[in-house]
Amino acid sequence: MIQKVRVITKVGPDLKGIDILSDIHKMLGLKKVDKVISIKVYRLEGATEKQAKILAKQLLCEQINQSYSINKPFSHLPGSHLGGVAIDSAGVTIEIAYKPGVMNPEAASVLKAAKDLGIKLLAADSSYEYAFFGSITKEEIIKIVEKLKLYNPLIEHIVIEESKTLLIKGQPGKTNIIHIRDCSDKQLMEFSKDKLFLNLEEMKTIQKYFQKIKRDPTDVELETLAQTWSEHSGHKTFKADLIVDGKQKAPLIYRIKTEALKHKKNIVSAFEDNSGVMDFYDGWAINGKGETHNAPSSIEPYGGAMTGSGGVFRDVLATGQGAKNVISTDVFCFAPPEYPSKNLPAGTLPPLYLLKRVVAGVRDYGNRVGIPTSNGSVHFHQDFRARPTVLVGAYGIIPKKYAQKGKPELGDLIVVIGGKTGRDGIHGATFSSGEMTERTINVNSTAVQIGNAIEEKRVFDAILEARDNDLIRALQDCGGGGFSSSIGEIGESLGVTINLEKAPLKYPGLSPWEMWVSESQERMIIVLQKKNLRRFLRICEKYNVEASVIGKFDGSKKLNIYLEREKVCDLSMEFLHKGLPKKVLVARQETGNRKKSDTPPIPKNEGEWIHVLEKVLSHGNVCSKESIVRLYDHTVQGTSALPPFTGIKQDSPNDAVVIRPILDKPYGMIVSHGLNPVLNNIDPYWGSLWAATEAVANYAAVGGDYQEASLIENFIWPFPDEQSLWSLDQSVDAVVDFMKVLKIPVISGKDSLSSTYRGSAGVIKIPPVLCISVFGKLADVTKTISLDFKKVGSTIVLLGKQDLEMGGSTYFDVNGVLGDQVPKVDLKLLPEVLSTLHKAIKLRSILAAHDISEGGLITAIFEMCLGGRMGAELHLEGVKAHLRGNFLFNETAGCFIVEVKNEKMAEKLFRNLPYKIIGKTTSQFSISANGLFEADIKKLEKKWKKPMEEIFS
């Protein structure tokens, strides 16, 4: 019997209800709904009604401001609501719950607390009921609920029928033999489609292998091969030999690694572990990693963002013998929130919904696991309508003596800890390697799930304590590809025997192949020496972490998987890891002349100047993201030394984050990033250099020494057809050249090459994105600076060499022009500019600095003025009249606005470099550009803050 407890807010605002009502009024313009009330619903299985009452009183309902009702709707609304109108008579109610099988993290908490109160439940669930009031029918309400996307049908449903039990039953499926030896090519591909995502050559390689060993594969074996050989796990494009415009070139990854390993000074490990590790101070190392989670986020943004975050955090955790996460970062690209829904390609979700739900997912996961989310950016471009980019970065700290994984030895145990295995996330790795089509949203629903941040936090706590007790030999995160990926990788050298029945399941009924490739979250694989097992299990128990030995290293050089006594997989590690045929790929530059682009008209008067400035400041790529950032906890762990926002009202955005990861030491860790999705479409080589320079400039603007930094690359590219592969090749060349110039390495990277949409609307190539992240060390955090202007009467300096090209700039964009030439960074000058700035900050000769990026020079000055609540008087005498727009809005990366005491100081610091004295700070709260305009900063501030405030406040 299920007892149903409803809980309602009786005093004080019902925030959920008010929110929905305001959306109905504002977004749908429907005035006939007068009120919405939210009701929390708990279902308790295995309790008597009396027990349900005890739980309602002591656990589920706080009677100070809430009321409860057991097994029936509220007959009257208590307290201040609608003056006591009965809900069931006046309102239409709709209940939204997770679908059976989707993990609801709250259910476990209800079970635990009930047990603590002496009541043992068989199962529990929680959901929300909404009561709508007004002259409106149930059918209309359902339409409203769907229009507002109050639920995502992939994971949630409107409850229509009460189910008799919350328990999920099922008979385990069998392992099937797949008869592929006699298949035709067509049959092979039919089998691969929507499931294995392998191409014909790969399918034929598998077919030949099994013909050779004279048997057909099991489904477990095929799934294992498909997962290991997927683009997501195998990075086939990056490993392929290339022919670019007829000339042979080395594989992309080879070029990156070769150059990176020339700059070894700080490298502890690069491209070998789950994240890149570099040296820190006093026997510590720091590590970092960035990963996209675009595919799941495109169909279930909340769960996608959560599991994306959780996965990267586990990558940082699964570095060496276990690292502690200390920073997370988030970079998103969406179509503009106001993009009309009617123009969206079939099978995609509206960008506003994606933006809100992705932010909510990052908030609810990152805040709960207790990692400060302190750096990131949001970009908008209409071509992201077909698939957003959601890139999460994570950074950690680890004692250097634990920074390398131990080598597993014969007899070592394989232990799975953390979450249980369910059907969720099946085919995530293969799915994300596929392109997005109209079918994606329907066929691949099991690829999404909701994360459980607290499970992950428990796992963090247990692993770090086990590490400090020298118990861990090696560890792997169960991310894309699940056990198949983590155990397949870790077992490559020795071979393993796995007993699948030992893995704890969320519910019965999984087939062996499903257990093997399931991507259920919050699971880790730990390699232990047998003698350490007892102590390890005791630590797990202390932290309420479930741990099960599921296999061991057996020396067979094979992947042996059993379910009870049945052998379901018998694959040679050699074939699994080396059998994938190396690709040879052709890349070619699209020929045909690009149209020469127009240039926008120069503003004619003060009004026009201010108008264009306001348009730039309110552009999605430039406007304030504060209302998003304040939803994320960036002070947890107490390490902050430079937060996302500083200044008198703490509302001006810094270029990078600085933390002190060891609380009683002054050592700083700095993290920044750079990307520009527009420029790569015009010029992938110089666009990528812009992104890399922007990342390092952000790092230098706060006082970082780039020579003590490492880089992380993330390539998020359309499917590598000849043209896209050509631009990818250009981008990789840019990254390699950048390493050469700065003499610092990329130490971690990831590619995601599926940003192409194919549907009835045609083919949409999502803009190619290179995101470069920078992280590094600094001996003393007090030698860093913030961007806010500090003093009235200071000298404002432009440091660095502008290239007055404006292609891809925000200024061009608000004028409806793309441009054909992007600003080129002067790579010869760059190292000197960066190190001069660093040295000057170290000497405390600089009051404030800000890197110039989207929105250009004038935007940088605006943000600095805002922070100091003061103004700026700019002198443009040296700039030709027709170039003043280009000058003020120029976005050349590697240029800085710097505040120094006086002109003499500027001369002293920068005399060997290109620099310009462009003005002074003033006590007037306005920006004046002599003769052109004087803009009231208060008005600009409003324009700059409004776009995101409207969405998030």
Partner 1 sequence: MEKTNGGDIFLKPKICVLKSDGTNCDEELYYAFEKVGGDPELVHINEVRNKNVRFKDFQVIAFPGGFSYGDDIASGKILAVEMVSFLKEELENFRAKNGVIIGICNGFQTLIRTGLLPFGSLGKMDATLAPNDSGHFECRWVRLKKEKVNKCKFLQGDENIGWFAVNHGEGKLFAGNETIKTIEQSGLVVFRYVDENNRPTQKYPNNPNGSINAIAGICDPKGLVFGMMPHPEKFVDLTQYPNWRREKIEKPHGLFIFENIVKFARVAK
Catalytic residue, chosen from 232, 577, 634, 850, is 232
CA dist., res. 425 & res. 448, Å (int): 5
CA dist., res. 770 & res. 684, Å (int): 9
User: Hunting for tokens 């700290």 — which residue is that?
Assistant: 397
- For partner 1, give the closer residue by CB, 667 or 726: 667
Q: How far is the CB of 110 from partner 1 (least distance, A)?
A: 7
CA dist., res. 935 & res. 881, Å (int): 19
Residue 756 makes CB contacts below 8 A (sequence gap 6+) with 435, 436, 718, 719, 724, 763, 764, 765, 766
Q: How far is the CB of 544 from partner 1 (least distance, A)?
A: 6
Cα separations in angstroms, 114 against 54, 119, 734: 9, 5, 58
Q: Where are the beta strands (DSSP E) in 469-597?
A: 474-477, 496-499, 523-528, 547-553, 558-563, 566-572, 584-587
CA dist., res. 633 & res. 644, Å (int): 11
Q: How far is the CB of 371 from partner 1 (least distance, A)?
A: 8
- For partner 1, give the closer residue by CB, 38 or 274: 38
- For partner 1, give the closer residue by CB, 452 or 748: 452
Q: Work out the number of other CB atoms within 10 angstroms of the CB of residue 570.
A: 17
- 232 catalytic? Reply is yes
- 381 catalytic? Reply is no
856: left (phi over 0), alpha (psi -120 to 50) or beta: left
- What does the block give as tokens for 96? 């939204």
Q: How far is the CB of 671 from partner 1 (least distance, A)?
A: 16
- What does the block give as tokens for 649? 């009202």
* Nearest in space to 19 (alpha carbons), one of 260, 356, 281, 422: 356
CA dist., res. 370 & res. 461, Å (int): 11
Half-sphere exposure of 562 (CA within 13 A, CB side): 11
User: Hunting for tokens 């086990």 — which residue is that?
Assistant: 466
Q: Work out the number of other CB atoms within 10 angstroms of the CB of residue 30.
A: 17
Cα separations in angstroms, 912 against 197, 362, 896, 906, 907: 56, 45, 16, 11, 9
Q: How far is the CB of 118 from partner 1 (least distance, A)?
A: 8
- For partner 1, give the closer residue by CB, 245 or 541: 541
CA dist., res. 901 & res. 920, Å (int): 10
Q: 532 with 415: CB under 8 angstroms?
A: no
- For partner 1, give the closer residue by CB, 334 or 632: 632
- For partner 1, give the closer residue by CB, 104 or 532: 104
- For partner 1, give the closer residue by CB, 797 or 870: 870
Q: Reduced to 3 states, what is the DSSP secondary structure of residue 790? A: coil
Q: How far is the CB of 633 from partner 1 (least distance, A)?
A: 5
Tell me which residues touch partner 1 (CB under 8 A): 11-13, 15, 18-19, 58-60, 62-65, 105-106, 109-110, 112-113, 116-118, 126, 363, 367-370, 452-454, 457-458, 461, 541-544, 629-643, 645-648, 650, 660, 663-664, 781-782, 785-786, 788, 790, 868, 952-953
- What does the block give as tokens for 739? 């390493």
Cα separations in angstroms, 137 against 24, 90, 131, 153: 15, 11, 12, 21
- For partner 1, give the closer residue by CB, 111 or 736: 111
Q: How far is the CB of 460 from partner 1 (least distance, A)?
A: 9
Q: How far is the CB of 787 from partner 1 (least distance, A)?
A: 10
Q: How far is the CB of 571 from partner 1 (least distance, A)?
A: 38
Residue 797, beta-bridge partner list: 898, 917
Strands of 123-134's sheet, edge to edge? 66-70, 2-9, 33-45, 123-134, 91-98, 156-158
- For partner 1, give the closer residue by CB, 533 or 631: 631
Cα separations in angstroms, 652 against 229, 322, 629, 646: 46, 36, 12, 6
Q: Look up residue 7 and give its amino acid.
A: V
- For partner 1, give the closer residue by CB, 484 or 639: 639
* Nearest in space to 431 (alpha carbons), one of 442, 420, 421: 442
CA dist., res. 938 & res. 953, Å (int): 19
Q: How far is the CB of 454 from partner 1 (least distance, A)?
A: 4
Catalytic residue, chosen from 81, 263, 293, 381, is 293
Q: How far is the CB of 368 from partner 1 (least distance, A)?
A: 4
- For partner 1, give the closer residue by CB, 664 or 877: 664
Q: 792 with 594: CB under 8 angstroms?
A: no
- For partner 1, give the closer residue by CB, 629 or 701: 629
Q: How far is the CB of 406 from partner 1 (least distance, A)?
A: 27
3-state secondary structure 360-419: HHHHHHHHHHCCCEEEEEEEECHHHHCCCEEEEEEEEEEEHHHCCCCCCCCCCEEEEEEC
Q: How far is the CB of 778 from partner 1 (least distance, A)?
A: 12
Q: 827 with 686: CB under 8 angstroms?
A: no
- For partner 1, give the closer residue by CB, 687 or 867: 867
Cα separations in angstroms, 397 against 55, 281, 659, 687: 42, 11, 12, 32
Torsion of CA 478, 479, 484, 485, to 10 degrees: -110
Residues identified as active-site: 232, 293
